[in-house]
Chain A
């Protein structure tokens, strides 16, 4: 009996892993395909994808499940991975911690992943585009919207400058005209001085130039 124990244990483990393998397969109902593009994202600094990296992935996913359900029951062994390809893409499913033959519904996995997407990305130094969960669209970051649109600020500056320029030109033209207007009446007054001096004298009769041809007829 005792000697059969390790044999039974092995059988159980084999069964468990067989079940696990059956749970995780491509196009699984509650599973998702993950694709990593490490060389595209990191170029020269790209790391090799190996078992340890896979372990990290399973650990981060377990963390995401813990965070979402707010329990401490999820473990690395609950994340099952299969169909690993050279592309670095694979399928994963999440089993329930209480009952490892049952899968967590895909919708809940999706919500959990979306919540912790940033943390998962950062663990691998990747982005939403290079670490893809096919079927889980990324939540795009809302662009920063400042209170006043920046273009309005630049516009305000430019139009104020132009307005000041126009006013400056108009005022200087107006002042010039006023100055010319003041100069003009002075000139006229000078002319008027002469006119006035002439006006009083309508002309005095100068007897020396009176025609006296009636006296001198030759």
Chain B
């Protein structure tokens, strides 16, 4: 009787949905639209789709194949491919741990905003009053209410990474809830995860469709959509476009974390992962494009709203200065009146010339934001201006939660699967206890991100924790599968599982194109780090209501170096350790044979 039979997905659909839920994450919503805007709108789709076909799908296919063949987590799988490569698995687990630590903090913020949406007036719609109730708080006046709510009430951010403060209790509670939900989803391993992904994979699409319909019917939405899709082909000549397309595909599919290997290890031996790899990659990219249509209609609405508010302010300024009747100046004839009043009352006009704003719709659309700024500031600002804003707010943050938790499930599974494969732990700890310990450990370390300077540490992890290391890991993966394990053995394994060998296209990609591309990206990142000088970060200045760039202090830079070394260094360290062990073992064997 096989007491320890490897658990498996109830049906292949669960596996596909788990991969979709993992790959479709927050980056699809907040990074891809930004890149699209930066690199020429519709034209960006060309390098993006090329990179998908050349780099994304082959590497995805390869990771699924390894996981399904070896039926072990990343550490076991790579050790099986070659004993010297166990370090690759360990590096994946370390990188996944870094990601788990900071990624769930975003889920905590989404919870915070979600719970705050259950109020008659959204708290980020208005500024709080100052002490004598004559006006608003100064910090909120110089910034906007949404920025104030994010930086002061949500994060209670300090003015630099050096200044520490206490833990924000609300954030800590939300982080606790986020980890409890992750635990609830993975407590029984694949059995529970498989059921949860039905919801986490499909619900975001429901919300995206609802938002698409709401978005395109908003006033001014089409301005944004038109702006995004107008291709600026000259951007294709810019190498940064291609590099960003490659990195976006790479990180969006979640390669190198070991999550795909972990998920695939629970598959049936003859599961058709080739088709699933193509399907999941297509769904992921399709979702990015879909989400960017939604984002750009929201952008268009927000930009038009700001533009019209600006025009209204100019109109009021003119009316009040020249004491004209209210219906003389309307939105359409502002320009006419500006020139007219300049001509007829030049001195008075000169007096207000400094307060006169130039309202430019293009400039409003040009303000491209990515990351947490987009999700929590720009979107909240757009939502507060919609009718029935509480409903839209709840839907939106719930969608962010589903996306975030779906990705977390993959990352936590990437840590837990290799730990479970390690007999030492699985003998002494039950499944539930091991999962619980991992969650508790990550929660306590994650509390550091809820302190006053926590957001700055979050940015360090976000920018450096999983970028260079992943490129390195996947590069080693591709090279080892193609050359150390050997493409012929790999082909035979695939044939054993699928019934046919991978065709020449896949083989060329694995052996030649992907490694070259990855080496190129890796070199580019290293050169960028070196040439960029001291790494800098954005600091929130509460006096000016703006983000200010500052250089990282020495200890932060040392920490960045530590992050990079601790994951990438596992590969050579383990290889050397195994080499040393083999040499010692080899010498002992020869000794013992000689002695008999």
One of B160-168, B320-328, B372-380 contacting the partner: B320-328
User: Can you report 26 residue pairs joining A to B where beta carbons are below 8 Å apart?
Assistant: A35-B320, A38-B326, A39-B326, A39-B327, A86-B325, A87-B319, A88-B326, A137-B134, A137-B135, A138-B134, A140-B135, A142-B133, A143-B126, A150-B118, A153-B118, A154-B114, A154-B115, A155-B111, A155-B174, A158-B177, A159-B173, A159-B177, A162-B177, A163-B180, A169-B187, A170-B187
Q: Are A170 and B432 in contact (CB under 8 A)?
A: yes
* A40 beta carbon closer than 8 Å to chain B: yes
Chain B residue at smallest Cβ distance from A157: B115
Q: Are A169 and B184 in contact (CB under 8 A)?
A: yes
* B512 beta carbon closer than 8 Å to chain A: no
Min CB distance A39 to B, Å, is 4
Which residue of the partner chain, among B118, B134, B325, contacts A139 with CB atoms under 8 Å?
B134
A203 to B183, CA, bound (A): 58
* A89 beta carbon closer than 8 Å to chain B: yes
Min CB distance A23 to B, Å, is 21
* B188 beta carbon closer than 8 Å to chain A: yes
Chain A residue at smallest Cβ distance from B319: A87
* A85 beta carbon closer than 8 Å to chain B: yes
Min CB distance A181 to B, Å, is 12
Q: Are A155 and B184 in contact (CB under 8 A)?
A: no
Chain A residue at smallest Cβ distance from B178: A162
A86 to B319, CA, bound (A): 10
* B119 beta carbon closer than 8 Å to chain A: yes
Residues A132-174 near B (CB distance < 8 A):
137-140, 142-143, 150-155, 158-159, 162-163, 165-166, 169-170, 173
Q: Are B129 and A87 in contact (CB under 8 A)?
A: no
B181 contacts across to A, CB distance below 8 A: 162
A113 to B181, CA, bound (A): 55
Chain B residue at smallest Cβ distance from A155: B115
Given contacts A87-B320, A143-B129, A154-B115, 8 further A-B contacts (CB under 8 A): A40-B326, A87-B324, A138-B134, A143-B121, A151-B170, A155-B115, A158-B115, A162-B181
A178 to B173, CA, bound (A): 34
Min CB distance B110 to A, Å, is 12
* B220 beta carbon closer than 8 Å to chain A: no
* B112 beta carbon closer than 8 Å to chain A: yes
* A116 beta carbon closer than 8 Å to chain B: no
B128 contacts across to A, CB distance below 8 A: 143
Q: Are B135 and A86 in contact (CB under 8 A)?
A: no
Chain A residue at smallest Cβ distance from B180: A162
* A100 beta carbon closer than 8 Å to chain B: no
Q: Are B134 and A155 in contact (CB under 8 A)?
A: no
A101 to B187, CA, bound (A): 85
* B192 beta carbon closer than 8 Å to chain A: yes
- Whether A142 touches B129, Cβ cut-off 8 Å, given contacts A137-B135, A151-B115, A158-B177, is yes
* A37 beta carbon closer than 8 Å to chain B: yes
A151 to B174, CA, bound (A): 11
Min CB distance A28 to B, Å, is 17
Q: Annotate A5-46 by CB proximity to B: 1 below 8 A, 0 otherwise.
A: 000000000000000000000000000000101111000000
Q: Annotate B114-138 by CB proximity to A: 1 below 8 A, 0 otherwise.
A: 1110110100001011000111100
A161 to B135, CA, bound (A): 41
- Whether A154 touches B177, Cβ cut-off 8 Å, given contacts A86-B324, A140-B133, is no
Chain A residue at smallest Cβ distance from B174: A155
- Whether A86 touches B180, Cβ cut-off 8 Å, given contacts A151-B118, A155-B115, A170-B432, is no
Min CB distance B123 to A, Å, is 9
Q: Are B177 and A85 in contact (CB under 8 A)?
A: no
Min CB distance A163 to B, Å, is 7
Q: Are A173 and B327 in contact (CB under 8 A)?
A: no
A203 to B21, CA, bound (A): 65
A39 to B315, CA, bound (A): 13
A87 to B116, CA, bound (A): 41
B116 contacts across to A, CB distance below 8 A: 150-151
A35 to B112, CA, bound (A): 42
A39 to B320, CA, bound (A): 14
Q: Are A166 and B115 in contact (CB under 8 A)?
A: no
B135 contacts across to A, CB distance below 8 A: 137, 140
Q: Annotate B463-490 by CB proximity to A: 1 below 8 A, 0 otherwise.
A: 0000000000000000000000000000
A187 to B87, CA, bound (A): 44
B136 contacts across to A, CB distance below 8 A: 140
A151 contacts across to B, CB distance below 8 A: 112, 115-116, 118-119, 170
B324 contacts across to A, CB distance below 8 A: 85-87
Q: Annotate B326-338 by CB proximity to A: 1 below 8 A, 0 otherwise.
A: 1110000000000
Residues B148-203 near A (CB distance < 8 A):
170, 173-174, 176-177, 180-181, 183-184, 187-188, 192
A151 to B108, CA, bound (A): 13
A137 contacts across to B, CB distance below 8 A: 134-135
A159 contacts across to B, CB distance below 8 A: 173, 176-177, 180
A39 to B319, CA, bound (A): 13
Residues A82-116 near B (CB distance < 8 A):
85-89
Min CB distance B556 to A, Å, is 32
Q: Are A154 and B184 in contact (CB under 8 A)?
A: no
B323 contacts across to A, CB distance below 8 A: 85-87, 89
A122 to B326, CA, bound (A): 21
Min CB distance B199 to A, Å, is 14
A89 contacts across to B, CB distance below 8 A: 320, 323
Min CB distance B305 to A, Å, is 17
A40 to B320, CA, bound (A): 13
Min CB distance A169 to B, Å, is 5
- Whether A166 touches B326, Cβ cut-off 8 Å, given contacts A142-B133, A150-B118, is no
Chain A residue at smallest Cβ distance from B325: A86
A29 to B176, CA, bound (A): 61
Q: Are B129 and A166 in contact (CB under 8 A)?
A: no
A38 to B129, CA, bound (A): 27
Q: Annotate B85-125 by CB proximity to A: 1 below 8 A, 0 otherwise.
A: 00000000000000000000000000110111011010000
B180 contacts across to A, CB distance below 8 A: 159, 162-163, 166
Min CB distance A123 to B, Å, is 19
Which residue of the partner chain, among B126, B129, B177, contacts A155 with CB atoms under 8 Å?
B177
